[in-house]
Structure 1
Amino acid sequence: MFPSLPPLLADAGNSPLFQAAVIIVATFILEDAATILTAMEVQSGPVAMPLALGALYVGIVVGDLGLYGLGRLAALWPPARRWVNLPSGHDGQRWFARNVFRIVFISRFIPGARLPLYTACGFFHASIARFAAAAVMATLIWTTLLFAVSLRVGQFLIDHLGEWKWLGMAGFALTILLVGRIVASVRSPSR
């Protein structure tokens, strides 16, 4: 079974390099949960805030670039190209090139949208420079916001729940994930 983030960070002790590596790997598994749990560890004391935020930013952006890269690799595989059917007259490559910044930036805030949209950006050869710039900007905003909220919630949980703080943080992380899923599933009414 994969060990959870807080014990790994606690075991890392005084090794900032190991702490950063654990945080980066955790972002590949579940970004928002890694952000929330890392903020809790900062609040508890074993992890320094600059290290935590830096590792979160690096891990998330590298993961985003990895999704883009998977899309580029899929575009090189002939069966994958046959699976993509665009309406006649629609040029996916040109559309993604024109809208890459907006796609990347907006999908950062819509749960479940990153995987398909980031790989599509790679598949349709959107500018890697524009993709990376949008990924960095959106990550800086979203991760910093979620981290700041998690610090506040984490302090409240430490102050009021003591040893039960991890149960409270798990509930907070689950709430964030469920709210994200609900927001992603809401559709505008049909006309």
Structure 2
Amino acid sequence: MSPFILLSSIIDSAVGNAAVLPLIIILGALFSEDATSVILGILAADGAVSILVAFSSIFIGIALGDSGIYLLGRLASSHPRLGHYVNHDFLVPFHEWLNKRYVLTVFSACFIPGSRFLTYAACGFFRTRFPTFLLTAIAATSIWTTILFSVSYWFGSFTSGWLSYLRWGIAAIFLLSLFFIGRHNLRAYRARKAKLGV
């Protein structure tokens, strides 16, 4: 069973329980906030989940997850073997680059698949300003999650009469296409950068 189908089954099984559903959504957002947003958009279109419960739980889960990644980087910087790299000459250019583009880097990491974990952990590792980090991450995530949720809500409304497996399969393909588009764009950016010699 694919992780997307498993996650949708777990969330769907908690729909009837008002006390458990927000906790399951928060845990789902910790596991995969994009997949959770898509699943909840479709379930909200069916009327199975309240939009208010879905959004508030997703945002709590995302804020906890992003803070956890940042704190993981912060803990790594206090480790005896890793801590001496925080101010190491080798990493000074990266640290300076991150400080100059801090808000833009944190904001854009939300939209580039695969970059969020490393970026957020690096922010914690280099002990950047946590309040700025959290506010920027929440702002970026609120835009991205709202887009995913809205598109999924529309998709759920449009496909409400379809078979559930076909519907969830199309949603999974949508998520995979987002991943591959982001991956393609990142590779194209790196190729252009290498061509320019930057």
Same fold (TM over 0.5): yes
Q: Give, in whole Å, the separation in 1 of the partners of 2:108 and 2:94.
A: 21
1:57 to 56, 59, 78: 59
Aligned-residue identity in percent: 31
For the Cα contact (< 8 Å) 1:72–1:123, is it kept in 2? Answer: yes
When residues 73 and 151 of structure 1 are mapped into structure 2, their CA distance, relative to the original with a 3 A threshold, is same
- Structure 2 residues without counterparts, runs of 5 or longer: none
Q: Partners in 2 of 1:26 and 1:185 — Cα distance?
A: 29
Contact 1:9 1:19 in 2 (8 A): yes
* Pairing of 1:108-187 with structure 2 (within 5 A): 108-159=110-161, 161-163=162-164, 164-187=166-189
Listed as ranges, the matches of 1:17-28 within 5 Å are 17-28=19-30
TM (norm. structure 1) is: 0.86
Structure 1 residues 18-69: Cα deviation after superposition (integer angstroms, max 9, x where no partner): 1111111112222211111111111122211111111111111111111100
Instruction: Give the TM-score, by structure 2 length.
Output: 0.84
Alignment of 1:2-21 (within 5 A): 4-21=6-23
- The number of aligned residues is 189
Q: Amino acid of the residue matched to residue 77 of structure 2?
A: A
- Amino acid in structure 2 at the alignment position of 1:79: R
Q: CA deviation at 1:134?
A: 0.5
Q: Give 1:5 deviation, angstroms.
A: 2.6
Change (3 A) 1:126 1:168: same
Pick the aligned partner of 1:33 from 32, 35, 54. 35
The alpha-carbon deviation at position 136 of structure 1 amounts to 1.2
The two structures, once aligned, show a CA RMSD in angstroms of 2.4
Contact 1:97 1:127 in 2 (8 A): no
Alignment partners' CA distance in 2, 1:158 and 1:185? 37
SS at match of 1:34: helix
CA distances 1:60-112 after superposition (whole Å, capped 9, x unpaired): 111111110011001001222355654486482x5544433222111111111
> CA 1:87–1:151 in 2, change beyond 3 Å: closer, same or farther?
same
More displaced 10-residue stretch of structure 1: 81-90 or 132-141: 81-90
- Give 5+ residue unaligned stretches, structure 1: none
Output one character per residue of 1:134-158: Cα deviation in whole Å (capped at 9) or x when no partner. 0111111111111111111222232
